[in-house]
Amino acid sequence: MPTPAIRTIVQQMPKAELHIHIEGSLEPELIFELAQRNGVALAYPSVEALRAAYAFSDLQSFLDIYYAGASVLLQEQDFYDMTAAYLARAHADQVRHAEIFFDPQTHTARGVPFETVINGIWRACQDAPISATLIMCFLRHLSEDEAIVTLDQAMPHLDKIIGVGLDSSERGHPPEKFARVFERCRTLGLHLVAHAGEEGPPAYIETALDVLNVERIDHGVRCLEDPALVARLAREQIALTVCPLSNVKLRVFDDMSAHNLITLLDAGLAATVNSDDPAYFGGYMNANFLAVCDALPLTAAHARQLARNSFTAAFIDPQARQRHLDEVDHYFSTL
């Protein structure tokens, strides 16, 4: 049998998703449905008008519309429905395991109880066709004291959270602003990740590692500006959760052909491919892989490395990791 085309390979291979903001999976159709269900007024007259507004100039221009979209989430069932819809899409893209970010402060600031948010998202993960775990993100444009309040609210729910992350507006909000809350999370035994080097400088990647003690870097694509940092990331095999469609939509790269994913892989970095905010950036996991295939010289060896990296970097137990890696190796051995 002839070897399948790279586009088929990336779609069919087993994979993990490690960088997905669940609020960023809220499709315009569901935003309108929930707005109607909850009696929330929207600034856009139709699904089409809302989708047409998804033209971003940078991270902040996206975040403004992303937080507005999340305003329709009020009841536990809303969080359940959003999460269940994402998990069904991920399953269809041969995602075997997802580590899902959620932003409690976006909701508690509107008066939605922390319990409502986490219980809805958690219940959908329990009912999912794939394995799914939760990473609670602190909003970095807010203060560290507000992050500490959020951690206090999460304390009765630590059995539902595998780790914490740091997201929202990166520039001007360096990782070290959150040193104390991350240290407390570390002593609680939580896994630690942070967005760094998306729009912010390579120095933010270094302080995320050295001050926050994170285990993975979300995005991290600006690391290539610092050769010593690249050497360190390769040596320590720090995973980078790269989000290609996001990077093009938010103008981190002019177009996909300018994306540095292949350079990262060829430098020996533990890069992975992820969807970030799929409802806003043009697609879920396989759409990201296909966009990369169509613009960059991605080989089957790269694809296998990306699939392996996703499970190697996942916060899963050693037996599950080995089972997933064996499935990846078996898939590629049959090509």
Residues within the interface to ligand ADE (CB under 6 A): 21, 24, 59, 66, 167-168, 195, 198, 246, 276-277
Q: Which residues pair with 137 in a beta bridge?
A: 165
Alpha-helical (H) ranges within the chain are 6-12, 28-38, 47-52, 59-69, 76-92, 104-108, 114-126, 144-154, 179-187, 202-210, 227-235, 244-249, 261-266, 278-281, 285-295, 300-312, 318-333
Q: Which two tokens stand for residue 213?
A: 């003690």
CA pseudo-torsion sign 40, 42, 47, 53: negative
Taking the least distance from each CB to ligand ADE, the nearer of 27 and 277 is 277
Burial class (CB in 10 A: 0-12, 13-18, 19+), 95: buried
Region binding Zn ion by CB under 5 A among candidate stretches 111-119, 151-159, 269-277, 279-287: 269-277
Report the distance separating Cα 243 and Cα 221, nearest Å: 9
Least Å distance, CB 294 to Zn ion, is 23
Residue 168 contact, options ligand ADE, Zn ion, none, Cβ 5-8 Å cut-off depending on partner type: ligand ADE
Residue 106 contact, options ligand ADE, Zn ion, none, Cβ 5-8 Å cut-off depending on partner type: none
b/e sequence 70-83, b meaning 16+ C-beta within 10 Å: bbbbbebbbbbbbb
Q: Is 198 a catalytic residue?
A: yes
Tell me which residues in 276-295 interact with Zn ion (CB under 5 A). Answer: 276
Least Å distance, CB 211 to Zn ion, is 20
Taking the least distance from each CB to ligand ADE, the nearer of 144 and 327 is 144
Residue 95 has phi, psi (to 5 degrees) of -80, 125
Q: Is 170 in the site for Zn ion (CB under 5 A)?
A: no
The closest residue (CB) to ligand ADE is 167
Least Å distance, CB 167 to ligand ADE, is 4
Least Å distance, CB 246 to ligand ADE, is 5
Least Å distance, CB 301 to Zn ion, is 27
Q: Dihedral angle at the C-alpha atoms of 163, 21, 109, 72, nearest 10 degrees?
A: -140
Least Å distance, CB 197 to ligand ADE, is 11
Residue 56 contact, options Zn ion, ligand ADE, none, Cβ 5-8 Å cut-off depending on partner type: none
Region binding Zn ion by CB under 5 A among candidate stretches 126-134, 137-145, 152-160, 268-276: 268-276
Report the distance separating Cα 197 and Cα 14, nearest Å: 27
Q: Which two tokens stand for residue 88?
A: 């069904």
Burial class (CB in 10 A: 0-12, 13-18, 19+), 98: buried
Taking the least distance from each CB to Zn ion, the nearer of 93 and 276 is 276
Taking the least distance from each CB to ligand ADE, the nearer of 256 and 328 is 256
Report the distance separating Cα 63 and Cα 49, nearest Å: 18
Taking the least distance from each CB to Zn ion, the nearer of 78 and 276 is 276
Residue 93 contact, options Zn ion, ligand ADE, none, Cβ 5-8 Å cut-off depending on partner type: none
Catalytic residue among 198, 206, 215, 327: 198
Burial class (CB in 10 A: 0-12, 13-18, 19+), 183: middle
Catalytic residues: 198
Please report, as ranges, the residues that interact with Zn ion according to CB under 5 A: 276
